């Protein structure tokens, strides 16, 4: 019940295209859903996060869509750039215990071709 399933494992997109990564969770107690971006050899860094009281959050070219009834959320990267090439992780946690006790998805390796 603690799993977060992420797809696809890898994604290749042309510059200017839209990148879409999907995640599904099982534990209905989760109430915080961040996305992390990781470049090779580095630690992950927070990209954008959403709470279940909203269905969408946008920051620049990055948008999270959240479907509470389906227990799914997704990351959309508009106008994808080669500099967006990285591994992306979705995650979930319960704010009542600790934000930092995250359950991560398996990761998506995004490659944006120039």
Q: Does 67 bind other proteins (CB under 8 A)?
A: no
The distance of closest approach from Cβ of residue 48 to other proteins in the complex, given in angstroms and rounded to an integer, is 11
- Tokens at residue 78, please? 């508009």
The distance of closest approach from Cβ of residue 42 to other proteins in the complex, given in angstroms and rounded to an integer, is 6
Q: How far is CA 99 from the centre of its chain?
A: 16
Q: Does 34 bind other proteins (CB under 8 A)?
A: yes
Count of residues in contact with other proteins, rule CB under 8 A? 26
Q: Identify the residue among 28, 55, 67, 106 touching other proteins (CB under 8 A).
A: 106
Buried b (16+ CB within 10 A) or exposed e, 85-107: bbbbbbbbbeeeeeeeebbbbeb
| Residue given tokens 């995650």 in the structure block | 91
The residues facing 49 across adjacent strands are 34
Q: What is the DSSP letter of 93?
A: B
Q: Does 98 bind other proteins (CB under 8 A)?
A: yes
Window 37-66: contact mask with other proteins (x via CB under 8 A): ----xxxxxx--x-----------------
Residues present in the chain in total: 114
Stretch that binds other proteins, among 11-19, 52-60, 68-76, 89-97 (CB under 8 A): 89-97
């Amino acid at each position: 019940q603690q799993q977060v399933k992420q797809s696809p494992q890898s994604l290749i997109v042309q510059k200017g295209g839209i990148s879409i990564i999907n995640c599904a969770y099982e534990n209905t107690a989760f109430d915080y859903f961040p996305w992390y971006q990781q470049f090779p050899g580095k630690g992950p860094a927070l990209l954008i996060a959403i709470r279940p009281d909203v269905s969408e959050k946008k920051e620049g070219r990055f948008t999270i869509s959240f479907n509470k009834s389906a227990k799914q959320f997704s990351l959309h990267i508009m106008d994808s750039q080669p500099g967006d090439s990285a591994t992306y992780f979705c995650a979930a946690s319960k704010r009542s215990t600790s934000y930092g006790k995250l359950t991560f998805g398996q990761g998506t390796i995004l490659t944006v071709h120039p």
